[in-house]
Structure 1
Amino acid sequence: MITINIAQQSLSFKGNSYLISSAKNGVGEQEGSFCTPIGAFKIADKIGTDLQVGAVLVGRVPTGEIYTAELGRQCPDRDWILTRILWLEGLESHNKNTKARYIYIHGTPDEEPMGVVGSKGCIRMHNKDMVALFDVVQVGEKVVIIKQ
């Protein structure tokens, strides 16, 4: 099981621990809240197998772009979803809307700080960590997101 701890801004799986960045707006399940949901989930889909590190995805589809700092400066308002996506599906009544809210674990620009909140609801990881996790988890893998 993947364990995500919001208070510690960390993700643990099979003895490995990674720094993450969860929602700037805190935790919650309301549509449009830009909050990270809590509770029990499963990985509904894995997207991006074999994409180049830094590949940009929009609507879960690769755009053909590879993220660079220059691209980031050109498009400062984009919410960068890079490299790989693990799409989460809520398993409890309060978080059943998670998949419809497009809440993912995904790669982000490596210059983005980890260990601090900052996302729009998703769980962000540095790209090398995202690839390492993506390569060892399966669709259906259980995920728990806790506040502390």
Structure 2
Amino acid sequence: MWVLIELAAQRLTLFAEGQALRQYPVSTAANGPGERLGSGCTPRGLHRVRLKIGADCPLGTVFVGRRPTGEIYSEALAAAYPGRDWILTRILWLTGCEPGRNRGGQVDTLRRFIYIHGCPDSEPMGVPGSHGCIRMRNRDIIELFAAIPKGTAVEIHAEAS
């Protein structure tokens, strides 16, 4: 199994044995593609899922610093914390595989805390809007999380295939 994320199409595709199994709409960085620390961009190239976080957490679990806060996302919680970058339900933490491009130094995907994660269902999909991560609908991230093991390859392309 492997995952392809196409930034231009705002689409994530799950593959197995060369066949596309499932496609999901996503929302990647509002700042576009890029690898530099502090850029707020989505890194390109070959990555792997380094850690899977939140396996037994309920739908809408709020994470801060990759730890569940004990909160479940709601409109009331959103109103109490306007402007918060919501990381919900599950986290697939990515690590870069290409030294000098997305691994090491000022371009290290892992140290930039780039995830595939859930977000409020009110957030638009199919348009860039994140701070660098790949946002998904909560039910979609649950499905993807269950389908792929730790170590799964994730290729991020700027152009659509």
Alignment of 1:127-138 (within 5 A): 127-138=138-149
Q: State how 1:58-69 maps to structure 2 within 5 Å.
A: 58-69=64-75
Report how far residue 85 of structure 1 moved: 0.2
Task: Give the letter aligned to residue 137 of structure 1.
Answer: I
- The residue type paired with residue 84 of structure 1 is R
Where do residues 89-108 of structure 1 align in structure 2 (5 Å cutoff)?
A: 89-93=95-99, 94-96=101-103, 97-108=108-119
Determine which structure has more spread, i.e. the larger CA radius of gyration. Answer: 2
| Aligned counterpart for 2:135 among listed residues 120, 124, 133 | 124
CA–CA distance in structure 1, aligned partners of residues 85 and 30 of structure 2? 13
**How far is the alpha carbon of 1:73 from its aligned partner?**
1.4
Distance in 2, matches of 1:9 and 1:76, equals 25
1:74: how far off?
1.3
Unaligned runs of 5+ in 1: none
Identity %: 51
By how many angstroms is 1:59 displaced?
A: 0.3
Q: Structure 2 residue aligned with 1:82, among 77, 88, 97?
A: 88
The one of 36, 45, 54 aligned to 1:48: 54
Match of 2:4 in 1: 3
Report the Cα distance in structure 2 between the residues aligned to 1:13 and 1:43, rounded to whole angstroms.
13
What displacement does 1:23 show?
Answer: 0.2
- Counterpart code for 2:41: C
Scaled by the length of structure 1, the TM-score of the pair is 0.99
Q: Deviations over 1:49-98 (max 9, x none)?
A: 01000000000000000000111111111110000000000001210100
RMSD: 0.6
Could you say which residue in structure 1 is the equivalent of 2:79? 73
Matched positions, count: 148
3-state DSSP of counterpart to 2:147 = coil
Q: Which runs of 4+ in 1 moved over 6 A?
A: none
TM-score, normalised by the number of residues in structure 2: 0.91
- In structure 1, C-alpha distance between the alignment counterparts of 2:79 and 2:25, rounded to whole Å: 24
Q: Which secondary structure state, in structure 2, belongs to the residue aligned with residue 113 of structure 1? A: coil
